[in-house]
């Protein structure tokens, strides 16, 4: 009887990790990406007039990204745009691996469209930001920032970092 109990106990210990791993696979990369992107992200190496943090939220209409920057002496939201989730590959077969948002800023000769692409790379949430001006006399540019998850509560808005 003692050998049987030992065997059953070992069988349970061996089977438990397999069940956990299988449940993780069922959740899929899509749910992982969607859950991981939500919250406040600081842009430590970005010029603070360009970007101090991003806040990713979800409501009944989908995902949103808020861009925050320093204006004067305080942090304020400068843009809020829909965040579109992008699947790997063509069609609806691949997992969600990126997000993309676009918005316009400026006026007249300085009017531009900003393209923001988000992805995870080696554990970092990476922002690839491009600015394309309406007029060709301005230099278009792109840059990349690694964002860090902020410790601030995600429901706190309108406050500096």
- Residue 86's closest CA among 72, 66, 102? 102
Determine the pLDDT at residue 89: 86
DSSP state letter for 153: -
Determine the pLDDT at residue 152: 57
Determine the pLDDT at residue 25: 35
Determine the pLDDT at residue 86: 94
Task: Write out the two tokens for 103.
Answer: 């918005």
Return the SS3 of 3. helix
Task: Write out the two tokens for 142.
Answer: 């792109």
Q: What is the mean pLDDT of each run of 10 residues along the chain (161 residues)?
A: 38 34 36 86 89 94 95 92 93 88 93 96 91 93 93 50 41
Determine the pLDDT at residue 148: 92
Beta bridge partners of 99: 85, 118
Where do the structural domains in the chain lie, given as residue ranges?
Answer: 35-149
Dihedral in degrees, nearest 10, Cα atoms 140, 77, 40, 59: -100
Determine the pLDDT at residue 139: 95
The pTM is what? 0.72
**Which residues have a Cβ under 8 Å from the Cβ of 57 and sit 6 or more positions away?**
38, 63, 64, 66, 154
Determine contact, residues 67/47, Cβ cutoff 8 Å. no
């Amino acid at each position: 009887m003692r050998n049987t109990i030992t065997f059953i106990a070992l069988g349970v210990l061996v089977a438990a990790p397999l069940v956990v791993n299988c449940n993780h696979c069922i959740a899929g990369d899509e749910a992982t990406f969607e859950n991981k992107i939500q919250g406040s992200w600081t842009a430590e190496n970005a010029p603070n007039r360009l970007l101090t943090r991003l806040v990713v939220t979800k409501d009944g209409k989908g995902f949103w990204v808020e861009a925050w920057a320093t204006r004067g002496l305080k942090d304020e939201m400068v843009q809020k745009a829909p965040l579109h989730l992008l699947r790997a590959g063509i069609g609806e077969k691949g997992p969600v691996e990126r997000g993309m948002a676009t918005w316009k800023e400026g006026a007249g000769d300085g009017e531009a469209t900003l393209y923001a692409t988000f992805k995870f790379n080696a554990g970092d949430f990476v922002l690839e930001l491009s600015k394309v001006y309406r007029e060709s006399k301005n230099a278009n540019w792109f840059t990349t920032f690694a964002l860090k998850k902020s410790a601030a509560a995600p429901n706190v808005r309108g406050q500096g970092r």
